[in-house]
Amino acid sequence: MLGARKFAQRVLLSGVVGALLLLTADLIIQPFSGVSSELLPTGAMTALFGAPCLLWLLTKQKFASSFKAEEVANKVYHPKPFALVSLILALLLAVVTALAVLLGRTQVGWGFSGDLSILDLRMPRVFGAIFAGCGLALAGTMVQRITVNPMASPEVMGISSGAALALVLCAWFGFTPTRIEQIVYGGVGAALVMIVILQFSKRSNYAPSQLLLTGIAVSAALDAILRVALSSGQDNVQALLTWLSGSTYLASYNDVFALGLGIIVFGGATYAASRWLDILNLGQVSAVSVGVNTKQTRLFLLVMASLLTALSTLVIGPLSFVGLLAPHIARALGQYKAKNQLVVACLVGSILMVSADWLGRTIWFPWQFPAGLMASVVGGAYFLLLLRKGS
């Protein structure tokens, strides 16, 4: 926007602008740091100042929904029988679930236990992990197909950050909401983020590039506020650290029931709209030529993805990588149609979350590792393996 067109000019000018932005942010927050014996992180404040600027810039740019023909690399498809893949994954999920419920580690070592008191502690966590993995896998599949971007994921849209921020702000201001109030506040936060994203993307008919950039800007701003809140050192805020890591510790039967019901309702609606996902993945021109209202279709699918992400976040906490990884594994297993990919991604996401919860609960016994962080560790390693095979 400052007139730099050549590469060398852009490199030089962007470096100067970046230095000025960081220095300005640091100078602005210095008078406010240490007021309550805390230090405000400069990086978080830079993102907090920069996100509104990015949103403003997005309103000045026009993002068409890819009307022109584009060169794409020739893809080689290796489809596999959907029924066979689904059956194998369902059996694997049943085995992993049984092990997570029955097999554990105590002071005397490994062992199976059918004690009802122990099962009452394990089962809500396990089934919460199953439904959360399923919800994020559905949301990830939709977001990647809506944006036609294989690196898109639910957390990029900022929905989970909105739910997390609402609860952190409650703790920051000294409120101690009940479990039902936590779900309500988190739902309001996720809904507000969704409204902002939809409003900023409305002019471009919810073009993929506009959706992603708006989500990135909103997510950066919310993460910055989260980091500032965590840097305050308040006990109420610090108590949420485990939940912010994606933990199943607080999952109860009521939470699992509500999450499962939401997954069935919104997941069913998503599955019914799977044909739209197939058509949108062909591009704007092809979708319009067969009579699809791309604006309304993207809006509906984005709302479904947001609701699924918000539900999973409210019960388990902000989870990353599951929504990104599950759709890729489903494609690696030979499922390219949207409805097949949705089902297989659900099974993969559930297996990943249950495995992560069980590993985090047993490997470092008696200490426990949050399922969200463990899923990122396990999933990240497998994702790197997929990328190597793909190259």
Question: How confident is the model at residue 232, as a pLDDT?
Answer: 65
Over range 181-200, report the average pLDDT. 77
Residues with Cβ within 8 Å of 337's Cβ and at least 6 positions away in sequence, in order, are 82, 274, 278
Q: What is the 3-state secondary structure (H, E, C) of 276-293?
A: HHHHHCCCHHHHHHCCCC
- The alpha carbon of residue 129 and the mean position of all alpha carbons in its chain are separated, in whole angstroms, by 14
Say which range, 59-63, 147-151, 311-315, has the weakest mean pLDDT: 59-63
* Per-residue pLDDT band at 75 (split at 50, 70, 90): low
Question: How confident is the model at residue 302, as a pLDDT?
Answer: 80
Residue 65 to residue 182: CA distance in whole angstroms: 38
Residues with Cβ within 8 Å of 90's Cβ and at least 6 positions away in sequence, in order, are 347
314: pLDDT strictly greater than 50: yes
Residue 187 to residue 16: CA distance in whole angstroms: 41
90: pLDDT strictly greater than 90: yes
* CATH H superfamily, domain 45-60+88-98+115-390: ABC transporter involved in vitamin B12 uptake, BtuC (1.10.3470.10)
**Percentage with pLDDT > 90 across the chain:** 14
Question: How confident is the model at residue 94, as a pLDDT?
Answer: 94
pLDDT tens column, 339-390: 999 999 999 999 988 988 888 888 877 777 777 777 777 777 776 776 676 5
Question: How confident is the model at residue 81, as a pLDDT?
Answer: 92
Say which range, 25-29, 128-132, 171-175, 252-256, has the weakest mean pLDDT: 171-175
Residue 250 to residue 255: CA distance in whole angstroms: 9
Residue 113 to residue 102: CA distance in whole angstroms: 5
Over range 303-309, report the average pLDDT. 83
Instruction: Give 276's Cβ-side CA count (13 Å radius).
Output: 21
DSSP secondary structure, 1-41, as one string: --S--SHHHHHHHHHHHHHHHHHHHHHHHGGGTTTTS----
DSSP secondary structure, 293-361, as one string: -HHHHHHHHHHHHHHHHHHHHHHH----SHHHHHHHHHHHTT--SHHHHHHHHHHHHHHHHHHHHHHHH
Question: How confident is the model at residue 117, as a pLDDT?
Answer: 83
The residues spanned by each domain of the chain are 45-60+88-98+115-390
100: pLDDT strictly greater than 70: yes
- The alpha carbon of residue 295 and the mean position of all alpha carbons in its chain are separated, in whole angstroms, by 23
Say which range, 58-62, 258-262, 289-293, has the weakest mean pLDDT: 58-62
Q: Under DSSP, is residue 154 helix (H, G, I), strand (E, B) or coil?
A: helix
pLDDT tens column, 223-280: 787 777 776 666 666 666 666 666 777 778 888 888 899 899 998 998 998 888 888 8
pLDDT tens column, 316-330: 877 777 888 889 889
CA angle 203, 209, 213 (to 5 degrees): 90
* Per-residue pLDDT band at 53 (split at 50, 70, 90): confident
Over range 198-214, report the average pLDDT. 74
pLDDT tens column, 13-38: 999 998 988 888 888 877 766 554 45
Phi, psi of 306 (to 5 degrees): -65, -45
Question: How confident is the model at residue 282, as a pLDDT?
Answer: 77
CA angle 229, 305, 189 (to 5 degrees): 30
Closest CA to 247 of 363, 376, 118: 376
* Per-residue pLDDT band at 189 (split at 50, 70, 90): confident
Question: How confident is the model at residue 245, as a pLDDT?
Answer: 67
* Per-residue pLDDT band at 64 (split at 50, 70, 90): low
Contact in structure between 271 and 342 (CB atoms under 8 Å): yes
- Provide the whole-model pTM: 0.79
Question: How confident is the model at residue 69, as a pLDDT?
Answer: 44
Q: What is the mean pLDDT of the chain?
A: 80
Question: How confident is the model at residue 216, as a pLDDT?
Answer: 81
71: pLDDT strictly greater than 60: no
